[in-house]
Chains A and B, each alone.
Chain A
Amino acid sequence: QKEVEQNSGPLSVPEGAIASLNCTYSDRGSQSFFWYRQYSGKSPELIMFIYSNGDKEDGRFTAQLNKASQYVSLLIRDSQPSDSATYLCAVYNNAGNMLTFGGGTRLMVKP
């Protein structure tokens, strides 16, 4: 079992809709959770991080964390074609001093 799991997609949503991206992780000692966006051929770009259970909002993005269920999600409201990218979920565990990434979910926003 992979440590961080994401559906590879593609997830296709129409422009203006809400895109919902999900991630599960196996290590209960994980303490910090991150979402990176990666355009094709480019490097990962940090868009959100969350440490505590609940929701965290930043503009059109909302990260949600449920440590009991070992589940983290990213909602993108009013999706735009420019949001089309691969979204990487990453988990940080202090003991490991590293980020562990999922395989990413490819999002396609259609005009």
Chain B
Amino acid sequence: DTGVSQNPRHKITKRGQNVTFRCDPISEHNRLYWYRQTLGQGPEFLTYFQNEAQLEKSRLLSDRFSAERPKGSFSTLEIQRTEQGDSAMYLCASSYDKNIQYFGAGTRLSVL
């Protein structure tokens, strides 16, 4: 069991650029979640996949954000036209049991 893997670990970008993050869940997990965490706050839910279907999206997920899980395995989260307010830790979690979620190490995004 290799755990949830996220890449890259850190991303520095200029305002207006597009960025893409990848998440590889624990292999037998069919559910995959994206959260965002800013300093001093708890993680906030962004979106959820069951297999390849995106079943939930938070209102936090503006039209600049898109997530995919094309074959029900890894997932990507893309942010277009990044803004300074997008700077945060982006966390991916996966689960088999619908409740118990395990987190990856996260991708820290800094928008300059």
| Contact B56 A43, beta carbon cutoff 8 Å | no
| Contact A101 B42, beta carbon cutoff 8 Å | yes
| Contact B55 A42, beta carbon cutoff 8 Å | no
| A71: Cβ under 8 A from any B Cβ | no
| Contact A44 B91, beta carbon cutoff 8 Å | yes
CA distance A88 to B44 in the complex (A): 12
As a 0/1 sequence over residues 86 to 111 of chain A, the CB contacts with chain B under 8 angstroms (1 = contact) are 00101010101111111110000000
> With a CB–CB cut-off of 8 A, which chain A residues contact B99?
31-32, 34, 49, 92
| Contact A42 B105, beta carbon cutoff 8 Å | yes
> With a CB–CB cut-off of 8 A, which chain B residues contact A45?
103
> With a CB–CB cut-off of 8 A, which chain A residues contact B81?
none
Near B by CB (< 8 A), chain A positions 35-90 give 36, 42-46, 49, 88, 90
Number of interface residues of A (CB under 8 A): 25
Number of interface residues of B (CB under 8 A): 24
CA distance A38 to B58 in the complex (A): 23
Which 4 pairs from chain A and chain B are nearest by CB? A101-B42, A98-B45, A32-B99, A43-B103
Show 28 A/B contacts (Cβ-Cβ < 8 Å), sorted by A.
A4-B42, A34-B99, A34-B100, A34-B101, A36-B103, A42-B106, A43-B89, A43-B103, A43-B105, A44-B43, A44-B103, A45-B103, A49-B99, A49-B100, A94-B98, A96-B56, A97-B56, A97-B98, A98-B33, A98-B48, A98-B58, A99-B33, A99-B35, A101-B42, A101-B43, A102-B42, A103-B40, A103-B42
A contacts, CB < 8 Å to B = 4, 8, 31-32, 34, 36, 42-46, 49, 88, 90, 92, 94, 96-104
A sample of 19 more A-B contacts (CB under 8 A), given A88-B42, A99-B43, A100-B45, is A4-B42, A34-B99, A34-B101, A43-B105, A44-B103, A46-B100, A46-B101, A46-B102, A46-B103, A49-B99, A88-B43, A94-B98, A97-B55, A97-B98, A98-B48, A98-B58, A99-B35, A99-B93, A103-B40
B contacts, CB < 8 Å to A = 33, 35, 40-45, 48, 55-56, 58, 89, 91, 93, 98-106
